[in-house]
Chains A and B, each alone.
Chain A
């Protein structure tokens, strides 16, 4: 599933206890992650979860308060120009200079990036029938997002970071935007990091999943492995959490039954199958939603719990 067949073991992104404080409030804390080269990773979380903080530290727009960060081996202590060359960024709301024409924007891209690919930029605008002479302010929201994406792609950096790229777009523009991202990533080995709170858009697209809430990493790893590591149990209503196999992530109690999403320990699951219990696989969106509804502190508790018990933790599932 991960297409990094070059034998290059340097991950696209690695963070180690990364944290950023704003005054007294931590925007992100204890963030330890690894994303392999070539992955398309979703960073999911509600607003204020620390997504933008994480992204801006990856790009170099923000300096970490604590911890380590490296992008293709370049740490946050490397010269700024070296770091900037490895990441391209599509910021939230697709900022562009309103009084520039599309051609002016590309001229800016060429002037500010030695690796700029003007042919690619022009060809993309051609394919999307966006005239180069058109001023940015007269473009539609969808077209603006495409110009932003094109600017990022033409920078030819190995990591593409997108911050809420579709939240301001209508459904048709969302589809078109995501289709362009998939097409750009396909076969080029480009690593993509997409932050979003729109979960449904990401399911088909992403093979790596990072869930953030309240400044903490709730879940991180290859999407398929994470899905396989969780089970949706239907059990009699009275069953306490302690009797369930694995860690309870989310629980819904109805009149007679409880539906519990657990991070399952397969061995215990097999042993503890009981009459009246049912185990179902979980879906991507279900899994993400369950983690989004967990209190942020639960992530920290898990870390201590998992240290004692083998299970599919963040570190264990990285390749």
Chain B
């Protein structure tokens, strides 16, 4: 069965390796030049000394130079990439057998269809995890210098680091496998899986993610006769809290002793947030694949 799964998904695996190789070339070229510039600009010592508040100009210069590599527009387009990979792999997994009638061949061998499906899903899921982990590792490595200045809560950074990238691919894959069984045709199944995947992805990113944990409050005290350093949002470097990587969500009403009050998620919650978000998508994957196994088993056995 392992051979059968490999033979049927061989071309997909090769395509994924090609994608990974292209990403590796991009990441190594950029990562090396970013590292060199980071050292030359003296940002290492600045960060160590003042936590970034002492050298706004240096940070500005570096982000201007390399900003396009973590450019919001570019990575926003790539936001759909995990979904595309997932549905392209998952859509045909069952639907192709139903479309071409080969299910009659595959499921009338001595191996039961339940085993046929479990082995296939197990191997492909394993492949996706390896692919996702490799992609994440490459992206995190090349962007490390930039991440030290911007933190990792920026959506275009957060969505490609840690655990979530792999979980996004798995979720789209799970949806597409289930849609393939229900719709019985590959391309409609891919579309039918991609739309809810994207919807859930956006809802989680914009509605749920800021509230994974209760935000902290920061009271800003302004100098007596100076302009109050302000600005919220992830683009402000360093953020108003004075700590790189903090995610300032909103400005609250000023209190007696403070000029301004801000709600924020501290930078060190990155891995907690990643785990929560990856957990949501892995749970959705498990639900979709579980439903697929149950439905296929119920169809006849």
Residues of chain A touching chain B, judged by Cβ–Cβ distance below 8 Å, are: 59-63, 80-81, 84-85, 87-89, 91-93, 95-98, 100, 104, 107-109, 111-115, 148, 151, 155
**Chain A residue nearest in CB terms to B112:** A80
Known contacts A107-B3, A111-B4; A93 and B111 CB within 8 A of each other: no
Query: B4 to chain A: which residues have CB within 8 Å?
Result: 108, 111-112
In the complex, B101 has a CB within 8 A of chain A:
yes
Interchain nearest-CB distance for B105 vs A (Å): 5
**How far, in whole Å, are A81 and B301 apart by their CA atoms in the complex?**
10
**How far, in whole Å, are A300 and B59 apart by their CA atoms in the complex?**
88
Known contacts A61-B300, A107-B7, A108-B7; A95 and B110 CB within 8 A of each other: no
Query: B60 to chain A: which residues have CB within 8 Å?
Result: none
19 example contacts (A-B, Cβ-Cβ < 8 A) are as follows A60-B108, A63-B300, A80-B113, A81-B110, A81-B111, A84-B110, A84-B112, A92-B101, A95-B100, A95-B104, A95-B105, A97-B105, A104-B7, A109-B109, A111-B1, A111-B111, A112-B116, A114-B110, A115-B110
In the complex, B102 has a CB within 8 A of chain A:
yes
Task: List the 5 closest pairs (A to B, CB-CB), nearest first.
Answer: A91-B104, A112-B109, A89-B108, A95-B101, A80-B112
The contact string, 1 if C-beta is below 8 Å from chain A, for chain B 76-119, is 00000000000000000000000011111111111111101000
Query: B7 to chain A: which residues have CB within 8 Å?
Result: 100, 104, 107-108
Residues of chain B touching chain A, judged by Cβ–Cβ distance below 8 Å, are: 1-4, 7-8, 100-114, 116, 299-301
Interchain nearest-CB distance for B120 vs A (Å): 12
A112: contacting residue among B8, B110, B300, CB under 8 A: B110
* A88–B108 touching, CB < 8 Å: yes
**How far, in whole Å, are A155 and B105 apart by their CA atoms in the complex?**
12
* A85–B105 touching, CB < 8 Å: no
Interchain nearest-CB distance for A194 vs B (Å): 16
Extra contacts, 9 of them, besides A97-B102, A111-B4 (Cβ < 8 A), are A59-B108, A62-B300, A84-B108, A95-B101, A96-B105, A97-B105, A108-B7, A108-B109, A112-B109
* B104–A61 touching, CB < 8 Å: yes
**Chain A residue nearest in CB terms to B3:** A111
**Chain B residue nearest in CB terms to A152:** B108
* B101–A81 touching, CB < 8 Å: no
* A113–B105 touching, CB < 8 Å: no
Known contacts A63-B301, A108-B4; A113 and B102 CB within 8 A of each other: no
* A61–B1 touching, CB < 8 Å: no
**Chain B residue nearest in CB terms to A52:** B104
**How far, in whole Å, are A225 and B8 apart by their CA atoms in the complex?**
49
**How far, in whole Å, are A263 and B114 apart by their CA atoms in the complex?**
47
A61: contacting residue among B8, B100, B107, B114, CB under 8 A: B107
Interchain nearest-CB distance for A65 vs B (Å): 12
**How far, in whole Å, are A89 and B114 apart by their CA atoms in the complex?**
18
Query: B101 to chain A: which residues have CB within 8 Å?
Result: 91-93, 95
